[in-house]
Amino acid sequence: MLGYALNYLSKNLFFMKEILGDYEPKGKTVQAVGKFIAFGLDDPFHITTITGLTIYGIGKYIEKRTNYGLRMAYQDLEEFKRRLKEALLDINTMRL
């Protein structure tokens, strides 16, 4: 009975995690490290450039696998509302 309850609970937790999604896209830190290595550390043989761009590409691949759930959707909606409010304020303050 306990095994069934734990199995049921774990399936529901997994389902909730899938619905909620992640707080931010995965791979952003890897991308930042790749950019730093590619453009911050420059050498004449371009080894660091190739290595940095490879690491950046790995970060982009990881980012594509991010679960876009309710958390990220809420953050995107708030960002959209903020930008819209700024644009409307800019339009209202224009003098013709």
List per-block mean pLDDT (blocks of 10 residues) for the chain, which spans 96 residues: 60 70 80 85 75 88 80 86 92 81
In angstroms, rounded to a whole number, what is the distance separating the alpha carbons of residues 32 and 55?
Answer: 9
pLDDT at 84: 94
pLDDT at 22: 74
pLDDT at 37: 84
Q: What is the pTM of this model?
A: 0.54
- Please report the DSSP string for 3-51 in residue order: HHHHHHHHHHHHHHHHHH--SS-TTHHHHHHHHIIIIIS--TT-HHHHH
